[in-house]
Structures are given as structure tokens and as C-alpha cells.
């Protein structure tokens, strides 16, 4: 059985909001009047950052007032971007209470509270009614979830007929077990990667038809290689994802992701699947 308390502890830093606001003030930003660009260094807790979010949003065919559920929303960066750029109505759900607290604070500071709500909860057992959303959105969340069948069955339950599941995830490669620590797990206990073929089968069994499927592993390798070189040359910035993961592990996590992509231990895919 998955130890949810241990998983929450992996992501919980303590005092995260204070650290983020201190870094913003040090950069000359007003925490009460933030823009998406001000938050860019921490807003996209996934491979390839903002570019990946905008690409996936394009394939998801988002429109004004589209109701989106972001499963595993983290600090809510993609949710804020979808609400701001595409005028969606976004609900974010995350297991980690500290992430939800900070996500709500940042949405308020960006003037987006009227379009976004963040709540704490489990993606396998959400509190929403059937057919509540047009799009279920998930970026780099499923790696922590062992029961993929239940996860995607829940996503199907939450979607309206014809609704879309937008996925952007790291999957299992054929090169062997990944090197740890990684951003989503410091050891194998909380890492649950699925092979691409198995994911497609699981989606079909849950009632989805894959409409878009593209591998981005080469792009992921290039992105983490550039990140590793950047941090080696310039060090860690005041505001960055190391605030979420801890400076003691962050550089090792980036190095291991680069190695895992280079050695074929992990793969990166984006997908859109429609509920049948």
C-alpha cells in the first residue's frame, strides 16, 4: 500500500510561501502584484517548463470558459497559465497541503482567484461529481501513482462525454531502472513509471481514444542537459525549483534525469485522449 504521508513529506518543505516571497522581493518584485513571468522560475514543475504547457494546451483545444481539472497541480503554475491565456475555469487538486496553500496565495497575487480554485485531495478519489469537466489535465503527476487503471478510470468519470484527457508524463524506458534521487521520488518506493505501450492499453481500457501521441524524449534530454550546464556555470538562482525540492538534492536530481534520458531509462510523452 502506498504511504501517502511519506509521499506528502517528499514534497513538503515547510515555510515554502515565505521562501518564495522572500526570493521575489529580493528580485525587486511586489508579491501583491505578480505576473506569470515573475513566477516563471517556479511555475512549471515539469520537463521543458512553460513551452511544454503551451504546446499541450494547443493540442487540448482549450477555449474560454472550458472547465479544466488539473490533477496533481503542484503550485498551480499551468493552471494559472491556462486561466490567464485561454480564459479557462480551472480547478487544481494536489495531495500536498503546502502546495495547495501556496497555489491559492499565488493565484490571488496574480489576480486570478475568480477563475481558479485549488483544493487538497487524492487523484484516485476526487470529491467531484460525474461529468464535471471538459478537460482533465495532468503533467508529471502519474509517476507517483501506482494504480494507473484507477487513475484513468477516475479521469473518465470526471469528464463529460467527448471530454479530453491531456497528459504530459515521464514513462518507463527500456534501459533499466532509473537512477535516483529524482524530483518525484528520492528512491524507488514512490516511483511508478509505466511503459508507453502499457499506458495506451490502460487508457483504452478506461474508455479513452488516443487522438494525439508524441514522444518528446530527445527534447527532454536537451532541456535537462542545458539546465545542468546552466547551474554548473551560474549556480542556483534565488527563485527556482530548488526551493520546492531542497538544495541538497536538486542538482543530483537534474543530473540523474539527464542520465536517465540519455541511457533510455525514462521516456517523455505528450498525449490527448478523448472519452468515448
**Cβ neighbours of residue 2 closer than 8 Å, sequence gap 6 or more:** 146, 190
Q: What are the pLDDT digits (tens) for 140-173?
A: 999 999 999 999 999 999 999 999 999 999 999 9
- Give the residue from 221, 169, 167, 219 showing the smallest Cα distance to 194: 169
* Spatial distance between the Cα atoms of 100 and 143, rounded to a whole number of angstroms: 19
What pairs with residue 271 in β-bridges? 167, 213
* Spatial distance between the Cα atoms of 101 and 154, rounded to a whole number of angstroms: 24
Of the chain, the end-to-end C-alpha distance in Å amounts to: 31
The whole-chain average pLDDT of the chain stands at 96
Q: What are the pLDDT digits (tens) for 183-236?
A: 999 999 999 999 999 999 999 999 999 999 999 999 999 999 999 999 999 999
* Spatial distance between the Cα atoms of 50 and 8, rounded to a whole number of angstroms: 25
Q: What percent of the chain has pLDDT over 70?
A: 99
- Give the residue from 199, 11, 6 showing the smallest Cα distance to 100: 11
Give me the half-sphere count of Cα atoms (radius 13 Å) on the Cβ side of residue 214. Answer: 12
Q: What are the pLDDT digits (tens) for 42-57?
A: 999 999 999 999 999 9
Phi, psi of 138 (to 5 degrees): -150, 115
Q: What are the pLDDT digits (tens) for 77-108?
A: 999 999 999 999 999 999 999 999 999 999 99
Name the 3-class secondary structure at 137: strand
* H or E stretch at 267: strand 266-275
- Give the residue from 265, 257, 269, 119 showing the smallest Cα distance to 203: 269
Give me the half-sphere count of Cα atoms (radius 13 Å) on the Cβ side of residue 270. Answer: 19
pLDDT at 1 over 80: no
CB atoms within 10 A of CB 54: 15
CA separation (Å) from 175 to 10, 170, 215?
26, 14, 16
**Measured on CA atoms in the order 197, 198, 202, 203, is the torsion positive or negative?**
negative
Amino acid at each position: 500500500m502506498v504511504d501517502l504521508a511519506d509521499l506528502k513529506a517528499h514534497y513538503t518543505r515547510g515555510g515554502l510561501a515565505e521562501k518564495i516571497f522572500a526570493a521575489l522581493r529580493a528580485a525587486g518584485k511586489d508579491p501583491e502584484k505578480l505576473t506569470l513571468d515573475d513566477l516563471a522560475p517556479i511555475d512549471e514543475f515539469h520537463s521543458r517548463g512553460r513551452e511544454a504547457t503551451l504546446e499541450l494546451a494547443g493540442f487540448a483545444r482549450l477555449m474560454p470558459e472550458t472547465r479544466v481539472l488539473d490533477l496533481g497541480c503542484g503550485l498551480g503554475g499551468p493552471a494559472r497559465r491556462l486561466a490567464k491565456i485561454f480564459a479557462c475555469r480551472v480547478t487544481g487538486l494536489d495531495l500536498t497541503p503546502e502546495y495547495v496553500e501556496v497555489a491559492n496565495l499565488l493565484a490571488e497575487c496574480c489576480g486570478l482567484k475568480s477563475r481558479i480554485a485549488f483544493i487538497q485531495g487524492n487523484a484516485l478519489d476526487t470529491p467531484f461529481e460525474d461529468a464535471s469537466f471538459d478537460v482533465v489535465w495532468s503533467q508529471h503527476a502519474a509517476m507517483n501513482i501506482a494504480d494507473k487503471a484507477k487513475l484513468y478510470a477516475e479521469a473518465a468519470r470526471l469528464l463529460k462525454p467527448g471530454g479530453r484527457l491531456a497528459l504530459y508524463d515521464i514513462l518507463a524506458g527500456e534501459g533499466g531502472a532509473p537512477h535516483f534521487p529524482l524530483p518525484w521520488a528520492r528512491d524507488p518506493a514512490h516511483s511508478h513509471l509505466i511503459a508507453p505501450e502499457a499506458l495506451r492499453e490502460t487508457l483504452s481500457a478506461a474508455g479513452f481514444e488516443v487522438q494525439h501521441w508524441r514522444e518528446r524524449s530527445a527534447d527532454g534530454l536537451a532541456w535537462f542537459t542545458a539546465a545542468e550546464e546552466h547551474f554548473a556555470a551560474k549556480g542556483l538562482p534565488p527563485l527556482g525549483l530548488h526551493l520546492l525540492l531542497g538544495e541538497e538534492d536538486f542538482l543530483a536530481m537534474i543530473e540523474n534525469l539527464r542520465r536517465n534520458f540519455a541511457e533510455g531509462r525514462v521516456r517523455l510523452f505528450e498525449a490527448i485522449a478523448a472519452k468515448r
